[in-house]
């Protein structure tokens, strides 16, 4: 199998680093139990004719509570149900629909795929965007980038945007009723930043790294510690559909605080081997991995990432934490057989990324790290 890391790799130009701006998340962020009932008023800040797009489950979860607020705020709207992937083709189709309907604000409702699709379309049309996530599985609603897939669901790259999302509306009633599996995936995706920012070493210091990376690392460390302490209880609360203070705090960590960490890193290099494992699985083992969530694959990659960081004492504790939320912990749990041939494909991709130095020593460390998950 021919491996082309460039297909899924962000190209990092060192000489352009100083020109990349900091975009600190969302212009407005609201996280309350009755956000949906007031969503029309918030959307009216940005336009008078909304194009609303969401997944079928997401729209079923929110629309009855949202619809009266549009009449109250005197907003016209067009509505579309979409269950596919954020592909370049779909972005163009969505842009045409928005233009044809003469809408002046885009509203995305659902999970990470809808968030990524709507961010890309709004950016290219230069119109405001309001995002309403219905799960806390990722920080996609908060971050100024989109992951792009083929129509079939294979990861093909990223789009980075010049501006922040205009508003993120998080309804805590919806969040407390999300499948617990989604919350668990989001917890691990949020915890990943602390481990991945340190890529290749046990920790980040101000003496060896710049202030923005150091700040992101320290904030990510706080998020990691909070989620390690309270994440399981939030997971159990959501299992019972309880909207508790613990659920509130964990959702805030998953979406807002993790999004700010990404912003401090300018949406670059806040991820490393664990996220590259996700992209590789989606590209080279698509059929095997399609039923697993982004955060579940990333979480498995974190075990290898810890070994690559020489932070081996944390591995067993992380595995146990993941087991308590019924998460996969190795490649076999993600649908692979765990054979040497499968691991070699992943190794050949990962060794070409910017997260593994072009040395025999670094490649050997990567090989050892991958042994932790098969």
Which residues is 30 bridged to in the sheet? 169
149 is in an annotated binding site: yes
Least Cα distance to 106 among 93, 86, 85, 121 occurs for: 121
Joined tokens for residue 76? 């016209």
Distance CA 233, CA 239 (A): 10
145 is in an annotated binding site: yes
115 is in an annotated binding site: yes
160 is in an annotated binding site: no
317 is in an annotated binding site: no
143 is in an annotated binding site: yes
341 is in an annotated binding site: no
325 is in an annotated binding site: no
Distance CA 312, CA 365 (A): 12
Least Cα distance to 267 among 148, 356, 139 occurs for: 139
281 is in an annotated binding site: no
| Backbone region of residue 81 per phi and psi (left: phi > 0; alpha: psi in -120 to 50; beta: other values) | beta
Joined tokens for residue 253? 């960590």
112 is in an annotated binding site: yes
Q: Helical H runs in 206-327?
A: 211-239, 245-252, 258-264, 273-284, 286-289, 294-308, 315-324
Which residues is 130 bridged to in the sheet? 107, 167
| Sequence-ordered list of residues with C-beta below 8 angstroms from that of 100, at least 6 positions apart, any chain | none
Would you say 261 and 216 are in contact if contact means Cβ atoms under 8 Å apart?
A: yes
Q: Secondary structure of the chain: what % helix, strand, coil (to 5)?
A: 55, 15, 35
The full length of the chain comes to 374
273 is in an annotated binding site: no
Please return the burial class of 320, using the count of CB atoms within 10 Å of its CB with bins 0-12, 13-18 and 19+. exposed
Angle made by CA atoms 271, 274, 345, in degrees to the nearest 5? 125
CB atoms within 10 A of CB 256: 19
Q: Which residues line the annotated binding site for glycerol?
A: 189, 275, 294
Q: Which residues line the annotated binding site?
A: 112-116, 143, 145, 149, 189, 275, 294
Q: Which residues line the annotated binding site for NAD(+)?
A: 112-116, 143, 145, 149
């Amino acid at each position: 199998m021919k491996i082309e890391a460039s297909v899924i790799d962000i190209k990092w130009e060192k000489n352009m680093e100083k020109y990349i701006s900091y975009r600190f998340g969302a212009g407005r962020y609201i996280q309350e139990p009755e956000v949906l009932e007031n969503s029309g008023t918030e959307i009216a800040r940005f336009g008078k004719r909304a194009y609303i797009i969401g997944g079928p489950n997401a729209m079923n979860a929110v629309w009855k509570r949202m619809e009266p607020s549009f009449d109250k705020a005197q907003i016209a709207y067009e509505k579309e149900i979409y269950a596919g992937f954020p592909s370049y083709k779909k972005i163009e189709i969505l842009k045409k629909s928005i233009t044809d309907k003469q809408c002046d604000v885009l509203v995305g409702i659902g999970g990470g795929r809808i968030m990524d699709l709507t961010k890309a379309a709004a950016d290219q049309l230069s119109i405001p965007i309001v995002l309403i996530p219905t799960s806390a599985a990722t920080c996609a609603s908060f971050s100024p980038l989109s992951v792009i897939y083929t129509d079939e669901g294979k990861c093909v790259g990223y789009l980075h945007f010049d501006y922040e999302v205009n508003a993120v509306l998080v309804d805590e009633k919806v969040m407390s009723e999300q499948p617990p599996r989604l919350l668990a995936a989001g917890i691990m995706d949020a915890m990943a930043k602390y481990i991945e920012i340190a890529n290749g070493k046990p920790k980040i210091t101000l003496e060896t790294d710049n202030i923005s990376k150091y700040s992101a690392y320290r904030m990510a460390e706080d998020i990691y510690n909070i989620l390690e302490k309270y994440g399981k209880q939030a997971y159990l609360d959501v299992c019972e559909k309880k909207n508790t203070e613990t659920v509130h705090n964990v959702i805030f960590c998953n979406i807002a605080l993790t999004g700010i960490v990404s912003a401090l890193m300018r949406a670059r290099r806040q991820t490393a081997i664990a996220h590259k494992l996700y992209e590789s699985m989606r590209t080279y083992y698509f059929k095997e991995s399609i039923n697993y969530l982004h955060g579940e694959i990333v979480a498995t990659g974190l075990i290898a990432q810890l070994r690559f960081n020489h932070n081996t004492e944390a591995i067993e504790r992380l595995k146990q934490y993941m087991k308590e939320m019924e998460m996969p912990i190795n490649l076999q749990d993600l649908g692979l057989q765990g054979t040497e041939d499968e691991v070699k494909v992943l190794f050949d991709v990962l060794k070409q990324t910017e997260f593994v130095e072009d040395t025999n020593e670094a490649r050997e460390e990567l090989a050892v790290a991958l042994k932790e998950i098969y």
